[in-house]
């Protein structure tokens, strides 16, 4: 049996039953990483010794009956933009190449408390800016389904590591689709919770008003279980919300009878790949057969989501990334003359091209004389987009559509045309602008054998509805493993 | 600016009003920063206490570590509200924080969390009085923000180091309307703000220590002109005196420029109080674009009517209320009341002392007389008084019991004032306790009478003044410790025997 082929919940059960030890699970993950990293490059840092050390401690706590949660002893990979005390946290940037945080992010702490074993930090687009994981300063991550293709991004390392079975599950972060799109490209399940559900404390900010941490795993059950563990009201994050219910697993029901599903016509127009379109609409048919009421509707303002998103996210990023200046931590240029020269050189050498592009864009839209025309207008657009969704959720329980217009592009194709790359975020960014929860799950492959994902969007705080619909659909098909994943099988 | 230009500038400033042919009016507005008296910082739980070793009162939040997030200290909002209500401001019941972006190493995030678009308080005023004339000075707005760290230059390594202990200390900035017309009005306004804020307990408002800082915006225009002239902003003003001097100098400099047919440039200037002269820091052209935008890490603050009412209900006694009460309750003269209440600290000492020993008039006398005298001698202000009310009360008790002479008491009080000694043990140790042993005093007097036959004869011849001389001799011999009433009685008995 291949330990790495198990879901988190399955592995957790077997560890608790004493069939697999925590050390065995961690060793399996490390072996897989050693075997596959050359091809995939989904990790920036792998912490072998600490993971094994931690495995022994957690095993003892499980044996003593002090840890009994579903994730106790299960190895996890963390996206490299979440602070982990004493463990390198680079955001896949040269500027944080030597940064060892002095504290751990709340979401990661919640996992550790539940007995999760951190095996390493996953590669990403630099500072989460990108849709392909090609902007990483530590090399591109390759799609385990076809290593000539990108895994998506920005949480490409996390999605690829789960798909390649280098870890059991992973945490990602989603600012404009960064969990859902790589999950879709890699054929795994990823979920972006309602804004404010998972604490952002310790998540190195890209677009603060849009960033949310969420799970990437093999199935919906894992996602619900992980979300239940990482979600918490955190006093250290003022935008964190005290929710009435933190129970997501009881929504894992194979039943959509009477559920109203809206299909936004505007998500199926020009630019959407025919194969993607067909597979996504087939999901709606499956759910309809299982008793859901499926209806097409018009979701306005779709074309404004991309400009609004890139203005808001870049504006916040230009300010959030100002602290990386070579003064306190991170990269400082070798030679400089005076303070301003040090700032300029450290930042010019420390940041990659995409990050610089967004810092410049963000600084521009916030500068005096342009603030009203761009930033303020984008905020108004954001409010209008939210209102459009509010209107839709008066009629529908969930909204169903594609995650991305195409399957994973070839490595090297996207960065040549950034505008085209930005447009690829069209189905994911409005969810962040409106603060909604959404899940991405596999619904087939294209003619080249690359995975296609379907997205289910819920109203704020209605994760349970999308979990239920996704789970119901998932029951109708088998989880598809890529060839690289099977390399660990005996 | 070259050195030559600086000197020319200085000369221009010194020439003053010599060439003035027209009549000018000075228009002044102030930006006052006040450090709030919270125990912890504005966005984290770190201590605001002074004097810690560098970077000991810090955490990921106030050192701008990646991933850290601010959480607003509610007490900051309450202090800002209290100041706003006491200065007749309207409250923005939905207010927000904004980021002010600029690069400087004392600012760990390279942005300051402040308020631009929706400050907590706006459109208030305070009443001032100069030369018997009352006037309202408008308050444009009050906003909350965080202080920066401190750069320390290391001359040995020729580099600068940053201490983030002050980073994140809460401030309010009080922006006045351009309603002031003279240095006197500015000082009166600042003094009024200082007193209001001290009475509220929101800050100690010490200019020298930087817990209150004022930037002066000043322009001049011909009397009667409707438009304002071009203004400059003066920074680095560390005392009321420096503010007054800077205002005079800047006014003269601007008038000179206008008289010479030159233009005043809108710029920020730095005052050098030792040289009594200012120099340009940056002009409007190279003013930074702060790229303000709403702080996404903090949620808007909603201030309900109940919260405002609560702040009104718990508002401490302000100066005018205290003045009224002192008059009614203690019957103190207005002059005394004005001096005692001119410092919240002094008023606190007064009240704490009478709480122990009663006797408000006596306590007031010690504060009005000896305390003020010593403050002047030591070049201190009333806020720096450091003796404990218990010791003053105890000393007054000793006087009333006849154990301490008033003249000796002045020396004892000086010790209390400087070293905060306990008067009971002090007079014991230094043998300053009144001698009320009749036998001992009688023996001393007998000795003095024997030594001064001429004075005795004078007294007996009807020169009653001689009595005073003998009393004086006795007091000197007893180092002032003898009970004067007893000395008089014994001496009279001896002389008239």
Written as one string, the DSSP assignment of B443-466 is HHHHHHHHH-HHHHHHHHTT-THH
Contacting residues of B for A326, CB less than 8 Å apart: none
Long-range contacts of A65-70 (CB under 8 A, 24+ apart): A67/A114, A67/A115, A68/A16, A69/A12, A69/A114, A69/A115, A69/A229, A70/A8, A70/A9, A70/A12, A70/A13, A70/A225, A70/A229
Residues 409-468 of B with CB under 8 A from A: none
Q: Do residue B290 and residue B401 come from a single domain?
A: no
Task: Note down the domain range covering B384.
Answer: 317-429
Under the banding of pLDDT at 50, 70 and 90, the label for residue B445 is confident
CATH assignment at residue B460: 1.10.10.410
Q: How far is CA B72 from CA B144, B170, B435, in A?
A: 11, 10, 63
User: Across residues A105-121, what is the average pLDDT?
Assistant: 98
Question: Quick one: DSSP state of residue B274?
Answer: T
Give the residue with greater pLDDT, A282 vs B495. Answer: A282
Q: What is the pLDDT of residue B7?
A: 39
Under the banding of pLDDT at 50, 70 and 90, the label for residue B4 is very low
> Phi/psi at B16 (nearest 5 deg)?
60, -140
Inter-chain touch B66–A201, beta carbons under 8 Å: no
A465 closest CA partner among A398, A403, A393, A386? A398
Task: Yes or no: say if A113 and A105 are a contact pair by the CB < 8 Å rule.
Answer: no
Is A211 within 8 Å of chain B by CB? no
Q: Do residue B358 and residue B473 come from a single domain?
A: no
- pLDDT tens, B138-164? 999 999 999 999 999 888 888 899 999
Residue B343, pLDDT > 80, answer yes
Q: What is the pLDDT of residue B430?
A: 84
> Phi/psi at B160 (nearest 5 deg)?
-110, 140
User: Across residues B58-66, what is the average pLDDT?
Assistant: 97
Q: Is A60 a catalytic residue?
A: no
Q: What is the pLDDT of residue B1?
A: 37
Q: Do residue B197 and residue B325 come from a single domain?
A: no
Spatial distance between the Cα atoms of A472 and A400, rounded to a whole number of angstroms: 14
Total of domains in chain B:
3
- pLDDT tens, A336-346? 999 999 999 99
- pLDDT tens, B286-340? 678 999 999 999 999 999 999 999 999 999 999 999 999 999 999 999 999 999 9
- Residue B349 within a domain: yes
| CB neighbourhood size of B324 (10 A) | 12
Q: How far is CA A265 from CA A399, A456, A458, in A?
A: 11, 15, 17
Q: Do residue B37 and residue B161 come from a single domain?
A: yes
User: Across residues A288-294, what is the average pLDDT?
Assistant: 98
- Residue B307 within a domain: no
Residue B10, pLDDT > 50, answer no
Q: What is the pLDDT of residue B476?
A: 82
- Residue B152 within a domain: yes
Q: Do residue B294 and residue B328 come from a single domain?
A: no
Helices (H), B130-239: 183-200
Q: How far is CA B59 from CA A205, A237, A250, A261, B170, in A?
A: 18, 15, 39, 47, 16
- Residue B340 within a domain: yes
A227 closest CA partner among A33, A70, A29? A70
Inter-chain touch B291–A237, beta carbons under 8 Å: no
Under the banding of pLDDT at 50, 70 and 90, the label for residue B284 is low
A259 closest CA partner among A46, A459, A28? A459
Q: Do residue B355 and residue B476 come from a single domain?
A: no
Partners of residue B280 on adjacent β-strands: B269
- pLDDT tens, A356-399? 999 999 999 999 999 999 999 999 999 999 999 999 999 999 99
Inter-chain touch A322–B69, beta carbons under 8 Å: no
Helix/strand/coil percentages in chain B, nearest 5:
40, 20, 35
- pLDDT tens, A398-431? 999 999 999 999 999 998 888 888 999 999 999 9
Residue A235 has its nearest CB partner, among B66, B71, B111, at: B71
Task: Yes or no: say if A299 and A393 are a contact pair by the CB < 8 Å rule.
Answer: no
Q: What is the pLDDT of residue B404?
A: 86
Give the rounded distance of the alpha carbon of B109 from its chain centre: 32
Shortest distance between the Cα of B268 and any Cα of chain A, in A, equals 19
Q: Do residue B278 and residue B363 come from a single domain?
A: no
Residues 279-308 of B with CB under 8 A from A: 289, 291-293, 296-299
Q: What is the pLDDT of residue B469?
A: 86
Among A93, A178, A183, A232, the active-site one is: A178
Q: In what order do the strands lie in the sheet with A438-445?
A: A43-46, A117-122, A75-79, A169-174, A212-217, A189-192, A438-445, A451-458, A398-402, A260-264, A293-297
Under the banding of pLDDT at 50, 70 and 90, the label for residue A119 is very high
User: Across residues B129-143, what is the average pLDDT?
Assistant: 96
Q: Do residue B378 and residue B454 come from a single domain?
A: no
Q: What is the pLDDT of residue B15?
A: 45
Average pLDDT score over chain A: 97
Average pLDDT score over chain B: 90
Is A327 within 8 Å of chain B by CB? yes
Residue A188, pLDDT > 90, answer yes
DSSP letters for B238-254: -SHHHHHHHHHHHHHHH
Last residue of a domain, one of B277, B302, B327: B302
Query: How would CATH label the architecture of A3-253+472-486?
Result: Alpha-Beta Complex (3.90)
Residue spans of the domains in chain A: they are: 3-253+472-486
Helices (H), A302-446: 302-320, 338-350, 353-366, 377-395, 418-423, 429-433
Q: Do residue B124 and residue B247 come from a single domain?
A: yes
> Phi/psi at B431 (nearest 5 deg)?
60, 40
Nearest CA in chain B to A235: B71
Is A2 within 8 Å of chain B by CB? no
Residue B245, pLDDT > 70, answer yes
Residue B110 has its nearest CB partner, among A103, A315, A323, at: A323
Spatial distance between the Cα atoms of B3 and B12, rounded to a whole number of angstroms: 14
Q: Do residue B446 and residue B395 come from a single domain?
A: no
Q: Do residue B457 and residue B407 come from a single domain?
A: no
Percent of chain B with pLDDT strictly greater than 70: 94
Q: What is the pLDDT of residue B3?
A: 36
Q: What is the pLDDT of residue B20?
A: 56
Is A343 within 8 Å of chain B by CB? yes
Q: Regarding beta strands A398-402 and A260-264, do their DSSP bridges make them parallel or antiparallel, or are they unpaired?
A: parallel
Q: Do residue B190 and residue B69 come from a single domain?
A: yes
Nearest CA in chain B to A103: B60
Under the banding of pLDDT at 50, 70 and 90, the label for residue B436 is low
Under the banding of pLDDT at 50, 70 and 90, the label for residue B5 is very low
| CB neighbourhood size of B401 (10 A) | 9
């Amino acid at each position: 049996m291949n330990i790495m082929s198990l879901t988190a919940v399955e592995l957790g059960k077997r560890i608790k039953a004493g069939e697999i030890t925590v050390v065995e699970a961690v060793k399996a993950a490390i072996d897989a990483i050693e075997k596959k990293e050359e091809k995939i490059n989904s990790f920036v840092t792998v912490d072998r010794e600490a993971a094994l050390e931690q495995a022994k401690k957690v095993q003892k706590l499980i044996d003593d009956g002090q840890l009994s949660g579903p994730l106790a002893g299960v190895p996890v990979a963390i996206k490299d933009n979440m602070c982990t005390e004493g463990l390198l946290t680079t955001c896949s940037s040269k500027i944080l190449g030597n940064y060892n945080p002095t504290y751990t992010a709340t979401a990661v702490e919640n996992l550790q408390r539940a007995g999760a074993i951190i095996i390493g930090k996953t590669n990403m687009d630099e500072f989460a800016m990108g849709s392909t994981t090609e902007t990483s300063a530590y090399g591109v991550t390759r799609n385990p389904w076809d290593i000539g293709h990108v895994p998506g991004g920005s949480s490409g390392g996390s999605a690829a590591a789960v798909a390649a079975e280098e870890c059991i599950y992973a945490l990602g972060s989603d600012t404009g689709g960064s969990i859902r799109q790589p999950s879709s490209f890699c054929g795994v399940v990823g979920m972006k919770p309602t804004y404010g559900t998972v604490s952002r404390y310790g998540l190195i900010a890209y677009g603060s008003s849009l960033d949310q941490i969420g799970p990437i795993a093999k199935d919906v059950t894992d996602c619900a279980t992980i979300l239940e563990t990482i979600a918490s009201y955190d006093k250290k994050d003022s935008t964190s919300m005290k929710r009435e219910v933190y129970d997501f697993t009881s929504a894992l029901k194979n039943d959509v009878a009477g559920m109203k599903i809206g299909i936004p016509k505007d998500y199926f127009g020009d630019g959407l790949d025919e194969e993607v379109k067909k597979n996504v609409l087939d999901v709606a048919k499956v759910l309809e057969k299982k008793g859901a009421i499926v209806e097409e509707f018009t979701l306005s303002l779709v074309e404004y989501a991309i400009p609004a998103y890139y203005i808001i996210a870049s504006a916040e990023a230009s300010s959030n990334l100002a602290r990386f200046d070579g003064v306190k931590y991170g990269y400082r240029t070798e030679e400089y003359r005076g303070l301003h020269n040090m700032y300029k050189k450290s930042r010019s050498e420390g940041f990659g091209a995409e990050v610089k592009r967004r810092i410049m864009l963000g600084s521009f839209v916030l500068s005096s004389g342009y603030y009203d025309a761009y930033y303020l207008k984008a905020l108004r657009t954001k409010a209008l987009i939210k209102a459009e969704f509010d209107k839709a959720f008066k009629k529908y329980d969930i909204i169903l559509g594609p995650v991305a217009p195409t399957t994973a592009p070839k490595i090297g194709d996207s960065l040549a045309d950034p505008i085209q790359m930005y447009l690829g975020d069209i189905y994911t960014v409005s969810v962040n602008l409106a603060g909604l929860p959404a899940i991405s799950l596999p619904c087939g492959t294209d003619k080249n054998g690359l995975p296609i994902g379907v997205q289910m969007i819920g109203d704020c705080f209605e994760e349970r509805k999308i979990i239920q619909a996704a789970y119901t659909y998932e029951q109708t098909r088998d989880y598809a493993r890529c060839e690289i994943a099977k390399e660990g099988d005996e | 600016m070259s050195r030559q230009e600086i000197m020319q500038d200085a000369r221009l400033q010194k020439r003053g009003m010599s060439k003035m042919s027209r009549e000018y009016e000075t228009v002044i507005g102030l930006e006052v920063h006040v450090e709030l008296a919270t125990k912890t910082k504005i966005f984290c739980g770190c201590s605001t206490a002074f004097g810690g070793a560098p970077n000991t009162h810090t955490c990921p939040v106030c050192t701008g570590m990646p991933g850290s997030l601010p959480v607003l200290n509610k007490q900051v909002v309450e202090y800002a509200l209290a100041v706003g209500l006491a200065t007749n401001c309207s409250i923005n019941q939905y207010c927000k924080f904004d980021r002010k972006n600029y690069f400087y190493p004392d600012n760990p995030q390279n942005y300051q969390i402040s308020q631009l678009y929706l400050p907590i308080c706006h459109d208030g005023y305070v009443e001032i009085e100069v030369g018997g004339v009352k006037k309202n000075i408008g308050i444009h707005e009050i906003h909350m923000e965080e202080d920066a760290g401190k750069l320390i230059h290391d001359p040995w390594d020729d580099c600068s180091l940053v201490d983030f202990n002050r980073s994140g200390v809460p401030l309010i900035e009080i922006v006045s309307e351009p309603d002031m017309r003279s240095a006197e009005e500015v000082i009166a306004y600042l003094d009024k703000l200082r007193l209001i804020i001290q009475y509220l307990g929101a800050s100690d408002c010490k200019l020298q220590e930087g817990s209150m800082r004022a930037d002066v915006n000043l322009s001049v225009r011909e009397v009667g002109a409707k438009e304002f002239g071009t203004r400059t902003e003066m920074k680095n003003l560390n005392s009321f005196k420096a503010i007054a001097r800077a205002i005079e100098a800047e006014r003269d400099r601007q008038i000179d420029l206008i008289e010479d047919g030159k233009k005043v440039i809108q710029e920020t200037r730095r005052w050098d109080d030792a040289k009594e002269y200012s120099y340009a820091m940056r002009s409007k052209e190279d003013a930074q674009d702060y790229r303000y935008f709403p702080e996404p890490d903090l949620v808007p603050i909603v201030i309900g009517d109940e919260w405002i009412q609560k702040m009104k209900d718990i508002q401490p006694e302000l100066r005018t209320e205290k003045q009224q009460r002192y008059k009614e309750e203690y019957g103190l003269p207005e002059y005394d009341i004005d001096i005692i209440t001119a410092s919240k600290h002094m008023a606190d000492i007064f009240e704490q002392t009478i709480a122990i020993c009663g006797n408000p008039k006596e306590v007031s006398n010690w504060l009005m007389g000896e305390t003020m005298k010593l403050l002047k001698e030591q070049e201190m202000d009333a806020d720096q008084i450091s003796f404990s009310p218990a010791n003053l009360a105890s000393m007054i008790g000793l006087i009333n019991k006849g154990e301490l002479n008033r003249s000796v008491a002045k020396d004892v009080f000086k010790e209390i004032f400087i070293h905060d000694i306990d008067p009971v043990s002090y007079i014991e140790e230094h043998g300053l306790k009144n001698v009320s042993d009749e036998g001992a005093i009688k023996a001393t007097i007998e000795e003095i009478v024997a030594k001064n036959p001429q004075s005795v004869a004078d007294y007996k011849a009807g020169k009653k003044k001689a009595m005073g001389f003998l009393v004086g001799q006795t007091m000197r011999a007893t180092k002032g410790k003898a009970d004067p009433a007893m000395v008089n009685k014994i001496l009279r008995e001896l002389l008239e025997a």
